[in-house]
Structure 1
Amino acid sequence: MTRPMPSPETAAPSLDPLVALVAEDMAAVNALILDRMQSPVALIPQLASHLIAAGGKRLRPLITLAAAQLCGYRGTRHQMLAACVEFIHTATLLHDDVVDESLLRRGAASANAVFGNKSSVLVGDFLFSRAFQLMVEDGSLRVLGVLANASAVIAEGEVHQLLTTGDLATDEARYLEVIGAKTAVLFAAAAEVGAVVADRPEEEISALRYFGTQLGVAFQLIDDALDYAASQAALGKTVGDDFREGKVTLPVILAYARGTAEEKAFWHRTIEDLEQTDDDLTTAQALMEKYGTIRETVERARQVGEDAKAALARFPALPIRASLMEAIDFAVARGY
């Protein structure tokens, strides 16, 4: 099963315009990240560097920098906070890969596969601590509240996802609650702090928070679709990981709800009981194709992306706003 490619006459959406507009700030953020992940305990920078060297779009810190620029901010606080956001995200990746027993991250061996689970968890804790040090250095209780709350909600979302794993009684509302917590809340915080440091009115802060939330939901919906629809090389991790772990994502929820009794029995065996054969992933993909659940998940992401765009309408029609609009399209159309 493959994702449709853009037509030749339509250029694929890209993050390049956004990256170009915040390039100077991002260089400062990258330097700060490299500096703050240093430690006299050699394993810490070694393991952190392994994950950072694997690449990644750095979308969340990009959002912080872009939000601040959109709001006319002229200082440097947003650089420190963008690094903070990236440390929180990186810490959650380290912990997630241990929980999920993932062997690949961004196309390379995951940190836990190389360094072991104990090291990955502890270095993740270190990066969380670094993030909180950066929050304190910023000195704003408002910023501290936004990012500390996001960190707590992310942890709650991960535990909630653990509880829904293997539970086919999970409905769409509960699924959206999980992804809103484990993914969207950091996108929301990343955008919100960009407006907070610019001392913008509450309406603009709220609009950027909503933009971030909807972008994060769209991003996770596409992630969950790609776990069944992408090639492994494009995905950067093992295709079908969610299936093998028994995660109940929207493509599964829709396929299960629309299935025959025999098909429902298949889902109970593979997702709830985790009794899987080598051919079961292919069967799952075929059922999703039969009921159009990947296409519907992508369409839901597109609709949520339109909500994110609408939230930006109150801001001036500057190049940075246009680049954020394109970032939304990128999140929906990406193949990796």
Structure 2
Amino acid sequence: MERVNALILDMAGSNVELIPEVANHLVSSGGKRLRPMLTLASAQMFGAEGQPHVKLAAAVEFMHTATLLHDDVVDDSAVRRGKPAARVIWGNQASVLVGDYLLGQAFKIMVEAGSLECLRILSHASSVIAEGEVLQLSGANSLSNGEGHYMAVIEAKTAALFSAATEVGPVICGHDGAIQDAMRSYGLNLGLAFQLADDVLDYGGNSAVLGKDTGDDFREGKATLPVIYAFERGDETDKAFWRRCIENGDIRDGDLEAAIARLETTNALADATSRARVFAAKAAEALDKVPASELRDTLAEVADFAVSRTF
């Protein structure tokens, strides 16, 4: 990870001063670095050496960072990783353009890694992520789209990059077929579990621990799975409340607390967490198809962490 971080800081540089300012604001602010760590672990599990897997891990983090810069603009987010979002400091235009620059740098690093198949996997993930963003935009505030639409969005927006991050590990080491399929499945299910847990934390987490405001999804009118569950299980008064807040964007003082109360009385948060655990179990099960190792055990623990985490 030290080598990955050094490469990230180097590749975030530019003669255009604003680019490293904006990029370093987000890159140096921390974050879990989970996606590049998954790339490193999945590659080292199959004997990776040298620099190629380090380059792929850096590319994965650049892709993720670019999507965060773009997401904060789309969502009007004010806080990211405990700091003011880049858009708040430098504006939406700079955030979008620097995100584009980082995405370009990601593809440059992918090419340097020297695997056409890895380039295919990660470029495909980039397209799927963009599709997920548009799909969410087209129905983010609609409660009538239901669980199917929501799952399609998070599979594209979040799980696609997790899946690509773990799939390129064995590929860069010359593995394909069943091994490649297993690591793709691991990442996909891990990403679904991770996003479901995120959506629960938005209502039940701690802002200081999360590094972002709780209730952001509610204020942005996102029909996440907990909200979908609560809406479907509520009475007409509950349904009217959710329509006013989520579909109409009419949020008043005390509404977040009222929303959390409704989520709890309908077991929406608990059931969304249970759904996350199902995907975490599927991720761990996918690892049964790869040879036993200490790193395989570690990746199985990551699946549990994705659901049990508080940040």
| TM tier relative to shorter chain | over 0.9
Aligned match of 1:90: 65
Question: 1:223 aligned to 2:194?
Answer: no
CA distance in 2, matches of 1:27, 1:195: 21
Partner AA of 2:266 in structure 1: Y
Per the TM alignment, residue 36 of structure 1 is displaced from its structure 2 partner at its CA by: 0.6
CA distance in 1, matches of 2:176, 2:10: 33
Per the TM alignment, residue 140 of structure 1 is displaced from its structure 2 partner at its CA by: 2.3
Question: 1:57 aligned to 2:32?
Answer: yes
Contact kept? 1:67, 1:194, Cα under 8 Å? yes
| Residue of 238, 263, 286 corresponding to 1:263 | 238
Contact kept? 1:251, 1:297, Cα under 8 Å? yes
Per the TM alignment, residue 73 of structure 1 is displaced from its structure 2 partner at its CA by: 2.2
Give the 3-state SS of the residue equivalent to 2:137 in structure 1.
Answer: helix
Question: 1:244 aligned to 2:216?
Answer: no
How many aligned positions are there?
311
1:120-174 deviation line (CA, Å, top 9, x unaligned)? 1110000000011112222322111101110000001011111121101121111
Question: 1:320 aligned to 2:310?
Answer: no
Aligned match of 1:200: 175
Pairwise mapping of residues 125-140 of structure 1 onto structure 2 (< 5 A)? 125-140=100-115
Pairwise mapping of residues 321-336 of structure 1 onto structure 2 (< 5 A)? 321-336=296-311
Aligned match of 2:5: 30
1:297-330 deviation line (CA, Å, top 9, x unaligned)? 1111111100000011122321111111111111
RMSD: 0.9
CA distance in 2, matches of 1:189, 1:227: 25
CA distance in 1, matches of 2:217, 2:104: 29
TM-score normalised per structure 1: 0.91
Pairwise mapping of residues 13-162 of structure 1 onto structure 2 (< 5 A)? 26-162=1-137
| Residue of 244, 260, 269 corresponding to 1:285 | 260
Question: 1:232 aligned to 2:237?
Answer: no
Contact kept? 1:228, 1:239, Cα under 8 Å? yes
Question: 1:294 aligned to 2:269?
Answer: yes
Per the TM alignment, residue 107 of structure 1 is displaced from its structure 2 partner at its CA by: 1.1
Q: Which runs of 5+ in 1 are unaligned?
A: 1-25
Per the TM alignment, residue 201 of structure 1 is displaced from its structure 2 partner at its CA by: 3.3
Give the 3-state SS of the residue equivalent to 2:288 in structure 1.
Answer: coil
Aligned match of 1:184: 159
CA distance in 1, matches of 2:207, 2:4: 30
CA distance in 1, matches of 2:125, 2:189: 15
Per the TM alignment, residue 35 of structure 1 is displaced from its structure 2 partner at its CA by: 0.8
Structure 1 runs of 4+ aligned residues shifted over 3 Å read none
Contact kept? 1:29, 1:80, Cα under 8 Å? yes
Partner AA of 2:39 in structure 1: T
Contact kept? 2:159, 2:188, Cα under 8 Å? yes
Give the 3-state SS of the residue equivalent to 2:269 in structure 1.
Answer: helix
Q: Which runs of 5+ in 2 are unaligned?
A: none
CA distance in 1, matches of 2:175, 2:38: 16
Contact kept? 1:210, 1:308, Cα under 8 Å? yes
CA distance in 2, matches of 1:211, 1:225: 21
Give the 3-state SS of the residue equivalent to 2:143 in structure 1.
Answer: coil
Per the TM alignment, residue 108 of structure 1 is displaced from its structure 2 partner at its CA by: 1.2
Give the 3-state SS of the residue equivalent to 1:335 in structure 2.
Answer: coil
